[in-house]
Structures are given as structure tokens and as C-alpha cells.
Amino acid sequence: MNVHKIFCVFATVALLGTGCTKTLPTVLESTQYGVSLTPEAFDGPSFERFMAMVPEAGGVLSWAGEGMELAKEKSAASVVIGLSKQRTWAPVIVAGAKASILTDKLKRTILQDAIVDFARREQPPYLGVGNEINFSYTSGVDRIAMVDFFKETYRKIKEASPKTRVFPIFQLEWMKGLKGGLFGGEDDLASAEWDLIGRFPDADLVAFTTYPALAFKSPSDIPVDYYSEIAKHTNKPVAFTEIGWFRVGPKAAGWESSPEEQAEFVKRIPPLIESTKPTFVIWPFLFDQAIGPPFEHMGLLPPTSSTTPGWEAWKGIAQPSLDNSDEQR
């Protein structure tokens, strides 16, 4: 839900200078699993521990945050690219764009320059432009601004980094019209907004964030066609930049969760997404992060922990996609 805005600190920057540099993958040939840049802390030992766990999580490492962060040469996104080059991980970068910026001509230009300069400098294989578009931009004016911004930025990114795959991200539950549950509204399938995908014809793929725990009280309640429905609305490759379930749920009656329930959801992911053949699937929090409810306990691991049922289940489904031999690390 666009909540993991992790910023670079000296400990992470220092790590960029170590190890050999390898070529980043230009395309993932099969579904790859991974996590976002979410160590339990940014001190040296904690960060090194996190890095050692990334290959177990599937070898994809992501960063998502405000696009202006990319203007910093030593941004957290650049750290992700640098670490990925050293270890042959697949980096995924997501650049958010506030509506207030997109409707201001000067700020919009500055943001676009930051994203394009980052693409030119880092040559990322995957770069998202606009996060949870249908959730973040609710007015017609804001959406038109986002559509235009994506089109212009896509073209400029391709000029700067032709092999970069550029894509928009949508919030799947809202796309379906599932705005009840913990979203606080009412489910209304008639308000589904699948047509919004068609407004991004240049996109190299279509990505989604998805948190079924906000709409369903149990993993067993998720319909078997929950993700396969996407194929009815786009022929483009699909990816999931965030997919998650609570390890400890909210206190509201019926919405409680447990490590075992989180693991149950993780185990359901492969059969649920199988027909979409996603390019990558990312769990947004390896460790719990200091963020607001209801996401503060959606990590696969609490701080200082080394195992949970959810983490063991994730390693189980990620293992087939793992492509990080010891000599590559």
C-alpha cells in the first residue's frame, strides 16, 4: 500500500563498494520471487543479515518510494541496484508520484527529470512509474495527469535506457471494487476499474499490489479465480510488486490473524497466480517495519527472529525460482 519508503543510510552506502560487479538481468524468463529492502535495522550486522537472506527469498530485491528520491545519487534505490549488480539479483524499482506534483508543471518536470536521469545512470531492468494509480489518483484531473506523465516519462526512459521495462502499478483489491472490509467502505463489483489499464498502452507490463487480508478474513475465503481474472483485462505480462497477509492481524473481530494463517496464505500463492504467469512476485516486508496499522505486522519475520511459519513457507515457494549460486553471491 505504498507504505515502505526506505531511505539510504551510511551503512548501506558503504556496502556498495564491496564485491565484484555483474550484469543485471535484462528480462526474467520465468516467475521470480523476492522481497523489498526491509532489514530489521540499518546497522551493519542487521543489514548484512538481511542481504544473506535475500537469495532464500527468491533473489528479487525491490525498492518503492517517492520518485524524487531517485534524484539522490546515493539513494536507497541506487543501493538496491548496486547490491543487485554484485550478487546477480533482479532489482525492481518503483517511483511514486504525488498528485500534487503531477498537476504542477514545474514540479512535474523536476520529478520526470529525476526518474529519467536515474534510468540513464543505473539502467534498471524494471522501473515502475506511478504506484497504486487507481488508489492514489481518484479525481479525473489527477488521473489524466498521471496517464500523460506516464506516457511522456515512458518515452524518455526508453531513450535513456532502452532495455528498461517500464510499467504502472495498480491496487488490485480496489481495481476489483473490493473497497469494504478493512478499507472501510463497501464492496461494489460494479465499480471495478479494469478499463484504467487500457489507458497505459505503452506499458511493458502491468503490475499490482495486492493485500487480500484487507478484503477477506481467511485465506480460504479467497476465490480460486482471484488472480486469473486479471488475464480477462490485459494481454500484457503481469507482476506483483507487493503481495501480503498479516502475521498478526488487527484487533477488529474476525480480522485477527496468526503466523500459521500467514503461512496458509503464502502456500496458496502459487496455485492462485499460476495462470497469470507473473514476471515477479514480491513480499513487501521481510522484517516488520515501523509503519502504521494495519501493516506493522505484515513482515514474514519480527525483529531479531530467524524463523516463522510464513518465512518457511515463503522460502518453500521461492526456492524453484532461486538463481543465486554460492559463486554468484
Residue type, 125: P
Query: Residue 162: CB partners within 8 Å, gap ≥ 6?
Result: none
CB 282 within 8 A of CB 236: no
Beta bridge partners of 34: 60, 282
CB 276 within 8 A of CB 230: yes
**Alpha-helical runs (H) found in the chain:** 10-14, 44-53, 76-87, 99-102, 105-122, 133-136, 140-160, 172-176, 259-273, 309-318
Quick check: is 46 in a domain? yes
Residue type, 97: A
The CA-to-CA distance between both ends of the chain, in Å, stands at 31
Quick check: is 9 in a domain? no
**DSSP secondary structure code for residue 319 in this structure:** G
**Residue 106 CB neighbour total at 10 angstroms:** 8
Can you give the residue range of the structural domain that contains 231?
26-323
Supply the pLDDT for residue 165.
98
Quick check: is 84 in a domain? yes
Joined grid coordinates for residue 75:
539513494
Supply the pLDDT for residue 14.
41
Quick check: is 78 in a domain? yes
Q: What is the total count of domains within the chain? A: 1
Quick check: is 92 in a domain? yes
Supply the pLDDT for residue 177.
97
CATH number, domain at 79?
3.20.20.80
Supply the pLDDT for residue 295.
92
CA 59 to chain centre: 14
What's the pTM?
0.92
Quick check: is 8 in a domain? no
CB 314 within 8 A of CB 300: yes
- Per residue of the chain (329 residues), what is the pLDDT tens digit? 444 434 444 334 444 444 556 667 667 888 999 999 999 988 889 999 999 999 999 999 999 999 999 999 889 999 999 999 988 899 999 999 999 999 999 999 999 999 999 999 999 999 999 999 999 998 999 999 999 999 999 999 999 999 999 999 999 999 999 999 999 999 999 999 999 999 999 999 999 999 999 999 999 999 999 999 999 999 999 999 999 999 999 888 889 999 999 999 999 999 999 999 999 999 999 999 998 888 999 999 999 899 999 999 999 999 777 555 443 33
Distance CA 300, CA 170 (A): 23
Query: Residue 263: CB partners within 8 Å, gap ≥ 6?
Result: 308, 309, 310, 312, 313
Residue 222's nearest CA partner among 285, 287, 176 is: 176
Quick check: is 33 in a domain? yes
CB 227 within 8 A of CB 243: no
Distance CA 272, CA 283 (A): 15
Residue type, 328: Q
In a 3-state reduction of DSSP, which class is residue 182? helix
Distance CA 135, CA 131 (A): 9
Beta bridge partners of 127: 93, 166
Quick check: is 305 in a domain? yes
